[in-house]
Chains A and B, each alone.
Chain A
Amino acid sequence: MLQGYVMKTIRNSLLIVVVMLTAPVAMAVEFSYTGFASLVAGKVTSGSPGNPGGTLGAGAVPSVDPLIDNGHCPCAMGNWPNVGIYDQQWTIRPETRAGLQGTLKFDEDLSMIGQATARLTPHRNGDVTPDWLYVSYNLNSAWTVQAGRKRLPIYNYSDFMDIGYSYPWIHPPQDLYGWQIDHYNGANLMYRDTVEGIGVTWNIWTGAERDRNNEMLNQLYYHGKIDENWYNMLGTYVDLSRDWWQVRVIYMNNEVTRRLNGAEIHSADKQHFTGFALNLDPGQWVIRSEYNQFIRPDDKDYYYASLVGVGYRIGDWLPMLTYSQFREDFQPSPNDTDEIHHTRSASLRWDFRPGMALKAEYDDFVDHSHWPFLGNTKLVTLGLDTVF
């Protein structure tokens, strides 16, 4: 009996030690989650082939666009990176999505965050992929360092393009957001504080991303399998805001190596991005504007894109008119392969309850690209955005 008592005491003592060692850690970690979803239906109501002009040149673009081959076009892009294409049948596949973000908070300064998104676009077919998975550590109340996988914050809406609830339209003007790489794996340093009353966010990041089967380039630009590698990224943006205005300026450069069916067609080519956004919300007015440039200097390939949108809040409603345009200037072959298009949009957002918004949008897309590309389309989309 004494032996049993001793054994029991030893066992209980060990249990207490184990609980003491693990309980503080277990009890201190908080888990929380939040999410977003968008249900979007759309249809091209009318379309016509674009007006290529020029002659088809050697360039980076094949003689006939794979989209045309598939008989999809005239077609409208709701989401370039995920190849969310609308044609003349009603569909919810191009932009419908849902995401969940989980946060493990170890203490006030250290967290681990993961975010995964599910889509209905054909190549994803409901698969869930990790868009964000990173550790965040507050060095002090103004400086934070983060490392892991994140969306690439090139232009104003780039890193929150999936969060429909946070912007006026069903989709941010896609003329500016057609980029084939929208994530990076690396690290960033962020400063966030107020300086003389102005909210300042400064972010600098480095990293890389390789997509061995890049859907956007595969389906829209090349016949074949594209392996796209953006590396040696170095990017930075400054975001200033106060009261009713916000300004954002970004610069990023990186190298790109692109393989088509295994053969290198871009080899450590330099490219850089610059962008300027100005957003104003004086009174009931909503003004959104952006001007972006992309340059691949060794190829003498220059892209310019811009948007300007004006809206007016009437109670819980936000009607808006937006103009956006994209123009490529591929200098080695001036008329042959330039991608050129613009969009005039009319959109309406109704915040019928906090956390949910209904939207309707009409996009009149005119395609002046110098090869048969998407074509001219009039797209109608209806959407429900939510955050929870």
Chain B
Amino acid sequence: MKFLSLCLLLSLSPIASADEIVVIANKANTVALTVEDVRNIFLGKTRSFPNGSPAIPIELKEGKGIRSKFNDKYLLKNDSQLRAYWAQLVFTGKATPPKQVASEEEIRLLVARNPNVIGYITADQADDSVRIIGN
């Protein structure tokens, strides 16, 4: 359990360095999210934001870009552990994993278009079509 890195994350300002991972939401979505909220959404433990509106997480396909970094930092699981986690839920009808796309650009476009979508990209890929979620 990476307590130290969680504390670091919680203390980060929304202005991140270029290659850092940022979690992005639609500009109309003003809800505040903690690291744990993001984790719970991406692990399918909840299908809504803290304010009750639907949350649709989008992630990168396996092997792509910053996916592993995101999983290690936010989900605290590597790819194998995540696959094992989802296998148990998917084959028993309890939850379904986030939609997967091939590029960060696709994530940004989907987030910009839909107020319920939440995703992650590298900081320098973010523009003003999306809102960076800070703490």
Contact = CB atoms under 8 A, between A and B. Distances in A.
B7 interface: no
Q: Which of B46, B54, B95 has the most CB of A within 10 A?
A: B46
A10 interface: no
Nearest to A285: B1
A217 B47 CA distance: 42
Given A141-B48, A193-B45, A387 B83 contact: yes
Given A113-B93, A151-B92, A351-B80, A193 B1 contact: no
A194 B46 contact: yes
Nearest to B63: A354
Interface residues of B, number: 28
Interface residues of A, number: 42
B47 to A, nearest CB: 4
Contacts of A113: 93
Contacts of A136: 93
A183 B122 CA distance: 46
B37 to A, nearest CB: 8
Interface string A200-212: 0100000000000
Contacts of A146: 93
A138 B94 CA distance: 11
A134 B82 CA distance: 25
A283 interface: yes
A153 interface: yes
B96 to A, nearest CB: 8
Given A166-B84, A316-B80, A354-B62, A199 B40 contact: yes
Given A141-B54, A142-B47, A387-B83, A201 B92 contact: no
A346 interface: no
B32 interface: no
A337 B124 CA distance: 71
A244 B82 CA distance: 14
A36 B1 contact: no
Contacts of B45: 192-194, 199, 241
Interface of A: 34, 36, 99, 101, 113, 115, 132, 134, 136, 138, 141-142, 146, 150-151, 153, 159-160, 162-163, 165-167, 190, 192-194, 197, 199, 201, 241, 243-244, 282-283, 316, 351, 353-355, 357, 387
Interface of B: 1, 36, 40, 43-48, 52, 54-55, 62, 76, 79-80, 82-85, 87-88, 90-95
12 contacts: A36-B87, A141-B46, A141-B52, A151-B92, A159-B92, A162-B91, A165-B84, A167-B88, A194-B40, A194-B46, A199-B45, A355-B80
By Cβ-Cβ distance, the 5 closest A-B pairs, closest first, are A199-B45, A351-B80, A354-B79, A166-B88, A141-B47
